Structure 1
Amino acid sequence: MDDTRITAEQFATQTSSILESVGEVIDGKEEAVRSALVCLLAEGHLLIEDVPGVGKTMLARALAASVDASVRRIQFTPDLLPGDVTGVSVYNPVDREFEFKPGAVFAQIVLADEINRSSPKTQSALLEAMEEGQVTVDGRTHPLPDPFLVVATQNPLEMEGTYALPEAQRDRFMMRISMGYPDAAAEALMLRQRDSVNPLTAIRPVVDAAAISRMIGWARSVHVSPAVEEYAVALAHATRNDPSLHLGASPRATLQLVRAAKVWAALEGREFVIPDDLTALIVPVFAHRLLPARGVHRAGAQPVETALRQIVERVRVPLTARS
């Protein structure tokens, strides 16, 4: 991690450059682009879930193209093996010893495309990498590059040929977002602009990996008061005691909510977190980790998202955290 400090103005300029660069490719999806940047600067990982063809992979590739860093893309298929992801030890007959051949996960930005099309065994190959920034093969530990971001895409479970991500795998992702269909104007613009030109070819890196490390350091320094920490814990505990939820938020979820809120506050030009930062992020950070109680159905709404919004309305904000 580069410890060289940057100013608030430099942070704002560099984040604006990234948002603008990615926004040139992803029309009308400012919230999704912002969420991807939050995950990158909060040292988390992003899961993009939606139907095919709405720009999931395009968003991931546009973010990668905007950062001058090492990038690898892994197309998850049913025949993909764990060793293809993490790497394998290969015997060298000349030196008479095994040599480690790094897998596709050894990059600063990893695009895991259609992650839920591979088997659970292959999916689990990413667990250690996403949590600890390293992989262990044949008893030897190999560190991954820094910074390290996994942007994974997945199709809805009802789509053919998909496997459900286990709870432990979902919990490794800081945020889950959906792209959604573009509005009519954005779709019409896409037809005019992309008939003969791929917009990704026009993207040039606007920051390098060292700059990202400095931006991460700046976001880490954003202040979180004890009252705001108390509010974050109260939100997490409310999910564990809600009768409409079978599985509540883990302590990792609470930690990642606060980390994401720090970046969110920094993007808003503040050096401190307020309760609104937590409530703005609670659905994308918490929802994919929770499970509704058996038999809970709400017509026209997602039960987990509805429960989270009700929790936000119900949990009291500490008075000292309001300002």
Structure 2
Amino acid sequence: MPDRSSEPIRWGIVGTGTMAGQFAEDLRLSEGAELAAVSSRNADKAKAFAARYGDHVTAHTTHTDLLGDSTVDAIYIATPNDTHFPLACAASESGKGVLVEKPLVTTSAQAVRLATLAAEQGVFLMEAMWTRFLPAIAKARSLIEEGAIGEVTRLRGSLAFYHPFDPESRFYAKEHGGGAMLDLGVYGISLARLLMGEPIEVAGEWRAAPTGVDMSASLTLNFSGDVKAHLSCAFDHEGENCFIIEGSRGTLVLPAPFIAARAVLQCSNGLAAQLAAFPGRSVPSRTIRKLAARLPFPGIRQHAFPYAGHGLGFEIEAASEAMRSGNTHHRLMSPLDSARTLEIVETVLDEANRLT
């Protein structure tokens, strides 16, 4: 990529789906970044997408044309999971920076190969694990490091969104890299590793959809100091979707949905923590959690971090600044870090762990 250290990073988006739209919208809110082009195999979709974001946005009908566009510095890949690897390889070989919607790719072996290629090409590469870049997550990390809740003893996180079974859906199609772990489970694994480091032991189990992909999964990560992270993900129900960090002198709660955290609830006693992380998926349970997150309660200190848009702006600005600085990865989200999360996914989804 040419030296444009004092200018905005000009982004090209591969795809025109939901995540592509959210990324384009948050680009408008981001410093040091702007949308330059989009590509889709459907010409009408590419033109309509480009028109929504200004006359300066170029619509390409092939991804190859986008990669060859000299007005584009970096590529955001927002296509189905199974296309991430070939598209990211092609983007890296084109000399452009690459940000890939999670999961980075579908296997740990692909992640290592892609990381090697990007390093050889000297280009930026990052998985768009946007949750890691949220201010609320940075605050949770600093509270842990400061000892605000004492020694961490346990982590708990669930992420489940109901998707009715459809064999043609990207959520359930094996050939498109479907499954709850790749779509949702990577969030909890990535966050637990960010907070606690590398697990020394991994255990889990999963249930299959009729197409053979995982419809639900649960896992336990054992960290040094006998700290355990109990995580789960699913497509067959709506979950509590909180992330809870328990310590010897308090608890931190990232309210639902934790992947888009706008606050950290610092709970100084057991009752406060029970309210902030009240179990259950019923309307009363969700109402109690919302009230605890929004109203003053004894024993709960609210650290609020509201933001405009969808929350993708923080990763956009971080990736853009890293590229302007000439870095090939970001310290918060390296490609090999993504590979390690995929190794854990593969361990859990071993056929021996499949429930019947």
Q: TM-score range by the shorter chain?
A: under 0.3
More strand by share: 2
For normalisation by structure 1, the TM-score amounts to 0.27
Q: Which has the higher contact order (CA 8 A, sep 6+)?
A: 1
TM-score of the aligned structures, taking structure 2 as reference length? 0.25
